[in-house]
Protein backbone atom coordinates (compact mmCIF):
# COMPACT_ATOMS: atom_id res chain seq x y z
CA UNK A 1 0.00 0.00 0.00
CA UNK A 2 2.83 2.41 0.70
CA UNK A 3 4.11 1.92 -2.85
CA UNK A 4 0.81 3.17 -4.31
CA UNK A 5 0.80 6.22 -2.04
CA UNK A 6 4.44 6.93 -2.81
CA UNK A 7 3.95 6.67 -6.58
CA UNK A 8 0.88 8.93 -6.41
CA UNK A 9 2.86 11.52 -4.44
CA UNK A 10 5.79 11.19 -6.87
CA UNK A 11 3.41 11.74 -9.82
CA UNK A 12 1.96 14.86 -8.18
CA UNK A 13 5.44 16.21 -7.45
CA UNK A 14 6.61 15.63 -11.04
CA UNK A 15 3.46 17.25 -12.38
CA UNK A 16 3.73 20.24 -10.03
CA UNK A 17 7.37 20.76 -11.04
CA UNK A 18 6.57 20.55 -14.75
CA UNK A 19 3.57 22.92 -14.47
CA UNK A 20 5.55 25.43 -12.36
CA UNK A 21 8.35 25.72 -14.92
CA UNK A 22 7.42 28.94 -16.73
CA UNK A 23 9.76 28.16 -19.64
CA UNK A 24 7.83 25.11 -20.84
CA UNK A 25 4.62 26.92 -21.85
CA UNK A 26 2.10 24.61 -20.15
CA UNK A 27 0.74 27.69 -18.37
CA UNK A 28 0.65 30.98 -20.29
CA UNK A 29 -0.90 34.37 -19.65
CA UNK A 30 -1.67 36.91 -22.37
CA UNK A 31 -3.23 40.35 -22.21
CA UNK A 32 -5.14 41.91 -25.06
CA UNK A 33 -7.52 44.89 -25.12
CA UNK A 34 -7.31 45.18 -21.30
CA UNK A 35 -8.48 41.56 -21.04
CA UNK A 36 -6.45 38.64 -19.69
CA UNK A 37 -6.43 35.05 -20.92
CA UNK A 38 -4.81 32.22 -18.96
CA UNK A 39 -4.17 28.97 -20.85
CA UNK A 40 -3.17 25.79 -19.01
CA UNK A 41 -2.54 22.40 -20.66
CA UNK A 42 -3.47 19.67 -18.20
CA UNK A 43 -2.65 15.98 -18.08
CA UNK A 44 -5.31 13.63 -19.32
CA UNK A 45 -6.97 11.82 -16.46
CA UNK A 46 -8.05 8.20 -16.40
CA UNK A 47 -11.73 9.06 -16.69
CA UNK A 48 -11.36 10.68 -20.10
CA UNK A 49 -8.74 8.58 -21.83
CA UNK A 50 -10.18 8.39 -25.32
CA UNK A 51 -12.76 10.14 -27.44
CA UNK A 52 -15.52 7.53 -27.74
CA UNK A 53 -16.30 8.57 -31.33
CA UNK A 54 -12.77 8.48 -32.72
CA UNK A 55 -10.83 6.34 -30.24
CA UNK A 56 -8.21 9.10 -30.06
CA UNK A 57 -6.64 10.68 -27.00
CA UNK A 58 -7.46 14.24 -25.96
CA UNK A 59 -5.52 17.38 -25.20
CA UNK A 60 -7.14 18.84 -22.09
CA UNK A 61 -6.86 22.63 -21.83
CA UNK A 62 -8.23 24.99 -19.18
CA UNK A 63 -8.87 28.55 -20.34
CA UNK A 64 -9.71 31.52 -18.14
CA UNK A 65 -10.91 34.65 -19.93
CA UNK A 66 -10.97 37.67 -17.66
CA UNK A 67 -12.75 40.70 -19.03
CA UNK A 68 -11.89 44.17 -17.79
CA UNK A 69 -15.59 44.97 -17.70
CA UNK A 70 -18.72 42.96 -17.15
CA UNK A 71 -20.12 41.78 -20.48
CA UNK A 72 -23.57 43.33 -20.82
CA UNK A 73 -24.40 42.85 -24.49
CA UNK A 74 -26.87 39.95 -24.94
CA UNK A 75 -25.15 38.64 -28.08
CA UNK A 76 -21.77 38.64 -26.32
CA UNK A 77 -23.24 36.88 -23.28
CA UNK A 78 -24.82 34.22 -25.52
CA UNK A 79 -21.45 33.79 -27.21
CA UNK A 80 -19.46 33.55 -23.94
CA UNK A 81 -21.92 31.08 -22.42
CA UNK A 82 -22.66 28.80 -25.38
CA UNK A 83 -21.10 29.61 -28.75
CA UNK A 84 -17.47 30.24 -27.82
CA UNK A 85 -16.55 26.60 -28.48
CA UNK A 86 -16.36 27.45 -32.19
CA UNK A 87 -13.65 30.05 -31.44
CA UNK A 88 -11.24 27.49 -29.95
CA UNK A 89 -9.11 25.27 -32.16
CA UNK A 90 -5.64 23.80 -32.23
CA UNK A 91 -3.05 22.98 -34.89
CA UNK A 92 -0.36 20.34 -34.56
CA UNK A 93 1.78 19.46 -37.54
CA UNK A 94 -0.56 19.56 -40.53
CA UNK A 95 -3.65 18.66 -38.46
CA UNK A 96 -6.28 21.22 -37.47
CA UNK A 97 -7.99 20.05 -34.28
CA UNK A 98 -11.43 21.53 -33.53
CA UNK A 99 -12.57 21.85 -29.96
CA UNK A 100 -14.68 18.72 -29.42
CA UNK A 101 -15.82 19.52 -25.87
CA UNK A 102 -16.10 22.92 -24.20
CA UNK A 103 -17.55 23.07 -20.70
CA UNK A 104 -18.04 26.40 -18.97
CA UNK A 105 -16.92 26.38 -15.35
CA UNK A 106 -18.59 28.99 -13.12
CA UNK A 107 -16.17 31.82 -12.39
CA UNK A 108 -15.75 33.69 -9.16
CA UNK A 109 -17.39 36.81 -10.58
CA UNK A 110 -19.26 38.04 -13.66
CA UNK A 111 -16.04 39.24 -15.37
CA UNK A 112 -14.41 35.79 -15.52
CA UNK A 113 -15.23 32.96 -17.87
CA UNK A 114 -13.53 29.60 -17.27
CA UNK A 115 -13.67 26.75 -19.75
CA UNK A 116 -12.44 23.17 -19.80
CA UNK A 117 -11.79 22.34 -23.43
CA UNK A 118 -10.77 19.13 -25.18
CA UNK A 119 -9.09 18.67 -28.55
CA UNK A 120 -8.46 15.33 -30.26
CA UNK A 121 -4.78 14.49 -30.46
CA UNK A 122 -3.60 13.93 -34.03
CA UNK A 123 -2.15 10.62 -35.10
CA UNK A 124 1.61 11.26 -34.95
CA UNK A 125 3.95 9.25 -37.16
CA UNK A 126 7.20 7.74 -35.83
CA UNK A 127 6.57 9.00 -32.30
CA UNK A 128 7.24 12.59 -33.41
CA UNK A 129 5.73 15.40 -31.41
CA UNK A 130 5.20 18.68 -33.22
CA UNK A 131 4.53 21.99 -31.53
CA UNK A 132 0.89 22.40 -30.51
CA UNK A 133 -0.65 25.79 -31.26
CA UNK A 134 -3.91 26.67 -29.49
CA UNK A 135 -5.96 29.44 -31.05
CA UNK A 136 -8.71 31.65 -29.71
CA UNK A 137 -10.40 33.47 -32.58
CA UNK A 138 -12.88 35.76 -30.81
CA UNK A 139 -14.70 38.45 -32.79
CA UNK A 140 -17.47 39.24 -30.32
CA UNK A 141 -16.29 39.61 -26.71
CA UNK A 142 -13.13 41.70 -27.28
CA UNK A 143 -10.44 39.04 -26.77
CA UNK A 144 -9.43 38.99 -30.44
CA UNK A 145 -7.06 36.43 -31.98
CA UNK A 146 -4.57 34.75 -29.67
CA UNK A 147 -2.11 31.93 -30.21
CA UNK A 148 -0.51 29.82 -27.48
CA UNK A 149 2.41 27.53 -28.40
CA UNK A 150 3.51 24.43 -26.51
CA UNK A 151 6.59 22.55 -27.70
CA UNK A 152 6.20 18.89 -28.59
CA UNK A 153 8.97 17.88 -26.16
CA UNK A 154 7.02 19.43 -23.28
CA UNK A 155 3.83 17.61 -24.28
CA UNK A 156 5.82 14.39 -24.33
CA UNK A 157 7.06 15.05 -20.77
CA UNK A 158 3.48 15.77 -19.64
CA UNK A 159 2.23 12.51 -21.15
CA UNK A 160 5.09 10.57 -19.55
CA UNK A 161 3.92 11.41 -16.01
CA UNK A 162 1.85 8.39 -15.07
Neighbouring CB atoms inside 10 A of 34's CB total 10
How many helices (H) does the chain have, and how many strands (E)?
Answer: 3, 8
DSSP labels, 88-155: EEEEETTEEEEEEEEEEE--SSTTEEEEEEEEEPPPPGGG--PPEEEEEE-SSSS--EEEEEE-HHHH
Strands 145-150 and 95-105: unpaired
Of the pLDDT bands very low, low, confident and very high (cuts 50, 70, 90), residue 2 is very low
Which listed CATH number (2.60.40, 3.30.70, 2.60.120, 3.60.70) goes with 2-160?
A: 2.60.40
Bridge partners of 118, per DSSP, are: 60, 101
DSSP 55: -
- Quick one: pLDDT at residue 110? 75
Give the pLDDT confidence score for residue 53 in this predicted structure.
57
Mean pLDDT throughout 42-51?
Answer: 58
**What predicted TM-score, i.e. pTM, was given to this entire model?**
0.79
Provide the β-strand partners of residue 103.
116
Least confident of 45-49, 83-87, 132-136: 45-49
The whole-number pLDDT of residue 147 equals 93
Strand 95-105 to 88-92 pairing: antiparallel
Report the pLDDT averaged over residues 58-66.
Answer: 83
What distance in Å separates the CA atoms of residue 106 and residue 23, rounded to the nearest whole number? 29
State the pLDDT at residue 94.
Answer: 85
Average pLDDT over residues 110-117: 84
Count of beta carbons in the 10 Å neighbourhood of residue 97: 22
Is the pLDDT score of 127 beyond 90? no
Domains of the chain: which residue ranges? 2-160
Select from 158, 162, 138 the least CA-distant residue to 150.
Answer: 158
Q: What is the mean pLDDT of residues 137-147?
A: 84
Contact 64, 105 (CB under 8 A): no
Amino acid sequence: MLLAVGSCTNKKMKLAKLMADTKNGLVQVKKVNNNTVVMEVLPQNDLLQKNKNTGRDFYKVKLALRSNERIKNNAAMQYMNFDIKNSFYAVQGSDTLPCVICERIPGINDKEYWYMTFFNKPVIQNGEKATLRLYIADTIAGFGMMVFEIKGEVLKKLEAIK
